[in-house]
Structure 1
Amino acid sequence: MEAPQPSRRTGGIVTALALAGTVAAIMQTLVTPLIAELPQILHTSSSNAAWVVTVTLLVGGVCVPVSGRLGDLVGKRRMMLVCVVPLVIGSVVCALSTSVVPMITGRGLQGMGMGMIPLGIALLRDVLPAEKLSGSIALVSASMGIGGAIGLPLAAAIAQYADWQQLFWGSSVLALIVGVLIFVVVPDVPAAAKGQRFDALGALGLAIGLVALLLAISKGADWGWASGTTLGLFAVAVVALLAWGLWELRTRDPLIDLRTTARPRVLITNAASVLIGVGMYSFMLIAPQVLQFPKATGFGLGQSMLAAGLWIAPGGIMMMLVSPLGGKLINARGPKIALVCGALVIAVGYALALPLMGTAWGIMLAGIVINSGVALAYGSMPALIMSSVPVSETAAANGFNTLMRSLGTTIGSAVIGVVLAHMTVDLGGYTIASEDGFRTGLLIGCGVAVLSAAVASLIPSLRREPEAADRRPAAADQAPARP
Structure 2
Amino acid sequence: MSRIQPTTGTGAPGPGATRVAAVVGFLVFVELTSGIIQGMMPTLLPELGTVLGVGAGDLNWVNTAQLLAAAVSVPLFGRLGDMYGHRRLLRVAVLCLAVGSVLVAWAPSFEVLLVGRVLQGPLAALLPLEIGLVRDRLDASGARSAIAMLVGALTFGASAGMVVAGLLREAISSVHGVLWIPAAATVLCAGVVFFLVPESRTRARGRVDWAGAGLLSIGLATLLLGISQGPKWGWTDAATLGLFAVAAITLTAWVLVELRVAEPIVDIRLTVRRTLFPVYAASFLLGTALFGAQTALVLFVSSPADKVGYGFGYDALGIAWLMLPSGAMAFIASLFASRLFKLIGGRGALGLSGGLMAIGYLILIAAHDEPWQFVVVNVIVGTGVGLALSAMPVLIVESSPHERTAIATGIYNTAKTVGGSVAGAVFAAILTALTFQGTEIPTIDAYTTVWWCCATVSVLVAVAAAVVARPAKSAN
Q: 1:304 to 1:140 in 2, by over 3 A?
A: same
2:275 is aligned with 1:262: no
- Residue 279 of structure 1 and its aligned partner are, at CA, apart by 2.5
Pairing of 1:222-301 with structure 2 (within 5 A): 222-281=232-291, 283-296=293-306, 297-301=308-312
Is this contact kept in 1: 2:79–2:407, CA < 8 A? Answer: yes
> 381, 397, 401: which is aligned to 1:390?
401
2:461 is aligned with 1:455: no
Mapped partners of 2:366, 2:440: distance in 1: 25
Counterpart amino acid of residue 454 in structure 2: G
Counterpart amino acid of residue 24 in structure 1: S
Q: 1:436 to 1:177 in 2, by over 3 A?
A: same
> 350, 360, 381: which is aligned to 1:349?
360
Is this contact kept in 1: 2:212–2:257, CA < 8 A? Answer: yes
Give SS of 1:265's match: coil
- Residue 154 of structure 1 and its aligned partner are, at CA, apart by 2.8
Q: 1:101 to 1:405 in 2, by over 3 A?
A: closer
2:447 is aligned with 1:438: yes
Identify the residue that residue 206 of structure 1 maps to in structure 2.
216
Give SS of 2:399's match: coil
Give SS of 1:340's match: helix
2:386 is aligned with 1:375: yes
Mapped partners of 1:49, 1:351: distance in 2: 25
Mapped partners of 1:410, 1:32: distance in 2: 14
- Residue 101 of structure 1 and its aligned partner are, at CA, apart by 5.3
Mapped partners of 2:298, 2:457: distance in 1: 20
Deviations 1:424-467 (A, max 9, x none): 556xx856434444334333322221121012201111114xxx
Is this contact kept in 1: 2:68–2:221, CA < 8 A? Answer: yes
Identify the residue that residue 178 of structure 1 maps to in structure 2.
189
Normalising by the residue count of structure 2, what TM-score does the alignment of the two structures yield?
Answer: 0.85
Identify the residue that residue 82 of structure 1 maps to in structure 2.
92
Identify the residue that residue 136 of structure 2 maps to in structure 1.
126
Is this contact kept in 1: 2:346–2:391, CA < 8 A? Answer: yes
Mapped partners of 1:363, 1:285: distance in 2: 15
- Residue 166 of structure 1 and its aligned partner are, at CA, apart by 2.7
Mapped partners of 2:225, 2:36: distance in 1: 22
Percent of counterpart pairs with the same letter?
31
Mapped partners of 1:272, 1:310: distance in 2: 29
Q: 1:180 to 1:13 in 2, by over 3 A?
A: same
Q: 62-71 vs 246-255, which deviates more?
A: 246-255
Mapped partners of 2:445, 2:53: distance in 1: 36
Q: 1:56 to 1:270 in 2, by over 3 A?
A: same
> 69, 73, 87: which is aligned to 1:63?
73
- Residue 158 of structure 1 and its aligned partner are, at CA, apart by 3.4
Counterpart amino acid of residue 463 in structure 2: A
- Residue 36 of structure 1 and its aligned partner are, at CA, apart by 5.4
Counterpart amino acid of residue 372 in structure 1: T
Pairing of 1:282-431 with structure 2 (within 5 A): 283-296=293-306, 297-424=308-435
Mapped partners of 1:65, 1:326: distance in 2: 26
- Residue 268 of structure 1 and its aligned partner are, at CA, apart by 1.5
Mapped partners of 2:240, 2:91: distance in 1: 37
Mapped partners of 2:445, 2:43: distance in 1: 25
- Root mean square deviation of aligned Cα: 3.2
Identify the residue that residue 167 of structure 1 maps to in structure 2.
178
Counterpart amino acid of residue 322 in structure 1: A
- Residue 116 of structure 1 and its aligned partner are, at CA, apart by 1.1
Mapped partners of 1:293, 1:116: distance in 2: 34
Counterpart amino acid of residue 212 in structure 1: T
Counterpart amino acid of residue 438 in structure 1: Y
Is this contact kept in 1: 2:58–2:428, CA < 8 A? Answer: no
Give SS of 1:192's match: strand
Identify the residue that residue 4 of structure 1 maps to in structure 2.
10
Counterpart amino acid of residue 79 in structure 1: L
- Residue 338 of structure 1 and its aligned partner are, at CA, apart by 1.6
Mapped partners of 2:96, 2:117: distance in 1: 10
Is this contact kept in 2: 1:150–1:313, CA < 8 A? Answer: yes
Give SS of 1:387's match: helix
Q: 1:214 to 1:299 in 2, by over 3 A?
A: closer
Structure 1, gaps ≥5 residues long? 474-483
Normalising by the residue count of structure 1, what TM-score does the alignment of the two structures yield?
Answer: 0.84
Is this contact kept in 1: 2:61–2:425, CA < 8 A? Answer: no
Is this contact kept in 2: 1:134–1:331, CA < 8 A? Answer: no
